[in-house]
């Protein structure tokens, strides 16, 4: 039965183990896969951060460009002249210096210039090209070499003057002069089909120049490369249009009085013909030379800029020029020109980018020099005004914006091409060209490092959990095993007790019956039967005493009565009591008592110790050749030692510790010869402990068991 229960528990245990192991296994797999998902999530999040940075940069750069263009667009057309007469009520207003006169560089604009219908280059910083500084000369030379050919050498600017039939009638409206647009002056652009032809008077629509730049060799090649790359890894790169098309494209109309317009035109013509050469001091050239030693060095430091601005304020129009202006105005007032107070409309178109190849061969990030041009029409006069886009300043602004929005651990590189190590590439498409903004990961493997760290923690925790579960299951297994062993021992105990009870009871019943029926004829036999019945009753009593004592001890109810006495006397009485049993079994009981003196002990406990040890010796040494049992007492330091020695089979070393456990019996129940309950030695041990003593087993010579029970003798002394 115990075996059946054991195997059932065994099976149940393994089922529990399997369920727990399966659960833990599933948890481990789930944990690992969620780690993988976490890694993917981190990568996606980081990717999103890069995209957000690129978006913000695009927005910021676009805002800067729009603001810049809006400022440039709102400039009066006269700002592009060296001197001009501002629009004022007083017709004799003095000449003033152009606000753009101070420097070649102004934010994103570099080198303002104006082209009139004769392809004359007028600029606000050099009164005469001959007297200009080398920086200005270089720049103007660049315009002549590169820009003018692109614009058809200015030939297209030659327009036929269309006289209004009656200037007085039409002076209030500019619409009688056919409006032209910038594309009318740039045949090279129109020829490439980027700009569709429009009818006269139609407001300028958004001018597309993308086709123009894509035809530039370097750019076209790059464009193709980028396109093919984007197919393979579109999530890591994207285009961000910063198109000037999206900026305000309204055509401005400014009003001026005809007198003011004539005056400015006259000065402009005079200036371009270098008539005032002898009287004008080119103070801005001097400044330009001082401040701009190198044309390409646009990075004028902040201190220099401020210094420059201060000096600019001090520049006054030279007296000679003012004098000439007053004279000119006097001449004008002498001549009777009709309609001087009429309103003249100045039509200013929005800026349009145009990319022109650089003859230096150094095209920078764009395919060439980018110029922003606007068409200004004043009645039948057509002007092109504009400036070169300061590419390096633009890149600096892109760089500033990027710096501002970068997140932790990010870096960047601005170049023409996509870098292979870039975590995300934003192609800022300006319409006239592209800037490739490579966003970099400063520590490219930080996500992997973080995931590895979490993974290590995960494995460590997993290992601890597995260990804890294994330890718990092992403990559970051990407890279960012990429970099973205990229950097996109890089963054995019950069958042993039944057996132990049955044997003496059977013989008592048999002898009683014989005596009762008077079947025993002789007195000797009768006496023998009575003696046997007594002995069997005593055996029963001993058995029951053992069981009861063990039960009392287990429940903590066992009471000991320590009294002073001589232990040798007590033991001798027990030996004498057991002698008849020994005689019957063919044993000789010997005693060797040493004088141990009087000490305090529980008499019943000592009696039971000696009975149990003698009983065992009689039981287990039954087959021994040497049938002497020696009971000895001696004094050993703090202990009175009782020894019982037999010469039976003895006890194997491996069993020696276990025999003192309750219900433990050596060997197998089926093969066991001697009867017993497995409580005898357990009680001996408990009683010895109650006397603060010990029990041990020593192998006897040549064979046999020698039990030594020590009782502390210091009580009552």
By the rule CB under 6 A, 659 interacts with ligand ADP = yes
The three-state DSSP-derived secondary structure of 566-629 is EHHHHHHHHHHHHHHHHHHCCCEEEEEECCCCEEEEEHHHHHHHHHHHHHHHHHHCCCCCCCEE
Q: Tell whether residue 677 is a contact of ligand ADP (CB under 6 A).
A: yes
The C-alpha atoms of residue 635 and residue 384 are separated, in whole angstroms, by 132
Distance CA 683, CA 679 (A): 6
Least Å from the CB of residue 18 to ligand ADP: 39
Between the two ends of the chain, the Cα-to-Cα distance in Å is: 53
Task: Give the span between the Cα atoms of 494 and 501, in whole angstroms.
Answer: 10
Could you tell me the smallest distance in angstroms from the CB atom of residue 552 to ligand ADP?
Answer: 17
CA dist 108 and 611 (Å) reads 117
What sign does the dihedral 430-431-436-439 (CA atoms) show?
positive
Question: Does residue 678 interact with ligand ADP by CB under 6 A?
Answer: yes
Token digits for 667?
Answer: 């060997």
Question: What whole-number distance in Å separates Cα of residue 309 and Cα of residue 321?
Answer: 22
**Of 244 and 609, CB closest to ligand ADP:** 609
CA quadruple 657, 659, 662, 666: dihedral, nearest 10: 130
Q: Quote the least distance from Cβ 677 to ligand ADP, whole Å.
A: 5
Q: Are 598 and 562 in contact (CB under 8 A)?
A: no
The whole-angstrom separation of Cα 389 and Cα 143 is 13
Q: Is 665 in the site for ligand ADP (CB under 6 A)?
A: yes
Smallest gap from Cβ 502 to ligand ADP, in A, equals 15
> Which window, 198-206, 349-357, 461-469, 642-650, contacts ligand ADP (CB under 6 A)?
642-650
Find the shortest distance in angstroms from Cβ 2 to ligand ADP. Answer: 18
Cis peptide before 702 (omega within 30 of 0): yes
Q: Is 616 in the site for ligand ADP (CB under 6 A)?
A: yes
Within the chain, how many helices (H) and strands (E) appear?
A: 17, 21
Between CA 201 and CA 206 the distance in angstroms is 15
User: How near is the Cβ of 454 to ligand ADP at its closest, in Å?
Assistant: 59
| Residue closer to ligand ADP, measured from CB, 263 or 659 | 659
- DSSP E strand boundaries for 337-423: 343-348, 352-356, 369-378, 381-389, 410-415
- Are 198 and 181 in contact, with CB atoms under 8 Å apart? yes
CB of 679 to ligand ADP, least distance (A): 6
Residue from 282, 308, 646, 688 in contact with ligand ADP (CB under 6 A): 646
Q: Minimum CB separation from ligand ADP for residue 459, in Å?
A: 51
Q: Which stretch binds ligand ADP (CB under 6 A): 47-55, 380-388, 602-610, 680-688?
A: 680-688
**647 contacts 628 by C-beta, under 8 angstroms:** yes
Residue 391 in tokens: 């590419």
Task: State how far the Cα of 673 lies from the Cα of 676, in Å rounded to an integer.
Answer: 10
- Run of H or E including 347: strand 343-348
Is residue 631 at the binding interface for ligand ADP, with CB under 6 A as the rule? no
Select 109 or 617, whichever has its Cβ closest to ligand ADP.
617
**Whole-number Å distance between alpha carbons of 577 and 571:** 10
Among 648, 688, 691, 695, binds ligand ADP (CB under 6 A): 648
What is the distance, to the nearest Å, from the Cα of residue 555 to the centroid of all Cα atoms in its chain? 61
Task: Indicate which single residue of 651, 688, 695, 700 sits in contact with ligand ADP (rule: CB under 6 A).
Answer: 651
Q: In terms of CB distance, is 146 or 608 closer to ligand ADP? A: 608
Q: Which member of 497, 567, 571, 617 binds ligand ADP (CB under 6 A)?
A: 617
Binding segment for ligand ADP (CB under 6 A), chosen from 58-66, 295-303, 363-371, 679-687, is 679-687
CB under 6 A: which stretch of 270-278, 504-512, 555-563, 659-667 binds ligand ADP? 659-667
| Bridge partners, 376 (sequence order) | 348, 383
Q: Which is nearer to ligand ADP, 355 or 616 (CB)?
A: 616
Candidates 240-248, 403-411, 572-580, 615-623 — which segment interacts with ligand ADP by CB under 6 A?
A: 615-623
Distance separating alpha carbons of residues 387 and 372, to the nearest angstrom: 6
Q: Is residue 681 part of the contact set for ligand ADP (CB under 6 A)?
A: yes
Q: Which stretch binds ligand ADP (CB under 6 A): 183-191, 229-237, 510-518, 675-683?
A: 675-683
Closest by CA to 684, choosing from 620, 574, 609, 632, is 609
The region of 90-98, 503-511, 609-617, 686-694 touching ligand ADP under the rule CB under 6 A is 609-617
Residue 122 or 705: which CB sits closer to ligand ADP? 705
616 Cβ partners below 8 Å, 6+ apart?
676, 680, 681, 705, 707
Q: Whole-number minimum distance, CB 547 to ligand ADP, in Å? A: 11
Q: Which residue lies nearer to ligand ADP by CB, 635 or 675?
A: 675
The span of 374-382, 526-534, 595-603, 670-678 binding ligand ADP (CB under 6 A) equals 670-678
Beta carbons of 377 and 177 less than 8 angstroms apart: yes
How many residues of this chain bind ligand ADP (CB under 6 A)? 19
Residues 556-595 as x/- pattern, contact with ligand ADP by CB under 6 A: ----------------------------------------
* Residue 604 burial class via C-beta count within 10 angstroms: exposed 0-12, middle 13-18, buried 19 and up: middle
| Residues 591 and 632: beta-carbon distance below 8 Å | yes
Check binding of 666 to ligand ADP (CB under 6 A).
yes
CB of 592 to ligand ADP, least distance (A): 18
Binding mask 690-709 for ligand ADP (x = CB under 6 A): ---------------x----
The verdict on 649 binding ligand ADP (CB under 6 A) reads yes
Out of 350, 680, 693, 710, the residue judged to bind ligand ADP by CB under 6 A: 680
* Residues contributing to the site for ligand ADP (CB under 6 A): 612, 616-617, 620, 646, 648-649, 651, 659, 665-666, 676-682, 705
């Amino acid at each position: 039965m115990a075996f059946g229960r054991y195997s059932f528990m065994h099976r149940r245990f393994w089922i529990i183990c399997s369920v727990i192991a399966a659960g833990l296994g599933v948890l481990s797999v789930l944990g690992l896969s969620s780690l993988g998902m976490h890694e993917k999530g981190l990568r996606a999040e980081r990717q999103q951060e890069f995209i957000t940075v690129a978006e913000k940069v695009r927005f910021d750069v676009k805002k800067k460009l729009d603001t810049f263009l809006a400022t440039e667009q709102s400039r009066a057309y006269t700002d592009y002249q060296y001197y001009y007469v501002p629009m004022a009520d007083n017709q004799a207003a003095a000449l003033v210096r152009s606000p753009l006169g101070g420097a070649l560089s102004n934010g994103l604009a570099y080198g303002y210039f104006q082209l009139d219908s004769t392809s004359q280059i007028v600029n606000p910083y050099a009164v005469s090209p001959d007297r200009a500084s080398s920086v200005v000369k270089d720049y103007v030379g660049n315009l002549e070499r590169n820009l003018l050919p692109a614009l058809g050498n200015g030939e297209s600017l030659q327009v036929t003057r269309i006289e209004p039939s009656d200037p007085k009638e039409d002076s209030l409206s500019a619409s009688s002069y056919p409006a032209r647009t910038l594309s009318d002056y740039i045949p090279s652009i129109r020829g490439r089909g980027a700009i569709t032809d429009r009818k006269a008077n139609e407001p300028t629509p958004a001018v597309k120049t993308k086709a123009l730049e894509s035809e530039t060799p370097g750019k076209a090649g790059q464009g193709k490369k980028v396109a093919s790359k984007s197919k393979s890894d579109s999530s890591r790169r994207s285009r961000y249009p910063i198109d000037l098309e999206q900026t305000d494209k309204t055509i401005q109309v400014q009003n001026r009085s005809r007198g003011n317009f004539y005056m400015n035109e006259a000065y402009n013509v005079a200036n371009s013909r270098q008539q005032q050469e002898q009287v004008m001091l080119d103070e801005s050239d001097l400044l330009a030379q001082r401040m701009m030693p190198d044309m390409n060095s646009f990075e004028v430091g902040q201190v220099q800029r401020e210094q420059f601005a201060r000096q600019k304020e001090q520049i006054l129009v030279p007296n000679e020029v003012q004098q000439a202006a007053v004279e000119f105005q006097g001449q004008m007032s002498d001549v009777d020109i009709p309609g001087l107070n009429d309103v003249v409309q100045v039509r200013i178109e929005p800026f349009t980018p145009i990319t022109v190849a650089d003859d230096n061969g150094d095209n920078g990030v764009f395919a060439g020099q980018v110029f922003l041009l606007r068409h200004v029409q004043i009645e039948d006069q057509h002007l092109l005004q504009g400036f070169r886009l300061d590419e390096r300043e633009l890149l600096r602004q892109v760089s500033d914006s990027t710096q501002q929005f970068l997140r932790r651990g990010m870096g960047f590189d601005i170049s023409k091409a996509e870098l292979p190590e870039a975590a995300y590439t934003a192609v800022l498409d300006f319409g006239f060209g592209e800037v490739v903004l490579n966003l970099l990961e400063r520590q490219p493997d930080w996500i992997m490092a973080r995931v590895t760290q979490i993974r290590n923690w995960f494995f460590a925790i997993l290992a601890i959990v597995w260990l804890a579960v294994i330890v718990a299951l092992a403990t559970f297994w051990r407890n279960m095993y012990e429970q099973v062993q205990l229950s097996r021992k109890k089963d054995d105990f019950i069958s042993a007790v039944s057996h132990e009870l049955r044997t003496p009871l059977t013989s008592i019943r048999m002898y009683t019956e014989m005596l009762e029926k008077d079947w025993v004829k002789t007195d000797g036999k009768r006496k023998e039967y009575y003696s046997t019945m007594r002995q069997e009753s005593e055996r029963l009593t001993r058995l029951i005493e053992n069981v009861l004592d063990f039960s009392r001890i287990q429940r903590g109810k066992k009471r000991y009565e320590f009294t002073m006495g001589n232990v040798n006397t007590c033991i001798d009485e027990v030996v004498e009591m057991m002698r008849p049993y020994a005689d019957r079994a063919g044993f000789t009981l010997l005693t060797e008592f040493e004088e141990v003196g009087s000490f305090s002990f529980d008499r019943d406990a000592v009696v039971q110790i000696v009975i149990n040890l003698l009983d065992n010796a009689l039981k287990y040494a039954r087959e021994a050749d040497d049938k002497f049992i020696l009971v000895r007492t001696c004094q050993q330091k703090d202990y009175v030692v009782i020894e019982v020695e037999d010469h039976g089979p003895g006890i194997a070393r491996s069993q020696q510790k276990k025999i003192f456990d309750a219900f433990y019996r050596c060997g197998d129940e089926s093969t066991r010869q001697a009867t017993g309950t497995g409580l005898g030695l357990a009680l001996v041990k408990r009683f010895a402990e109650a006397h603060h003593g010990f029990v041990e087993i020593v192998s006897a010579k040549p064979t046999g068991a020698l039990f030594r029970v020590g009782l502390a003798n210091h009580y009552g002394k």
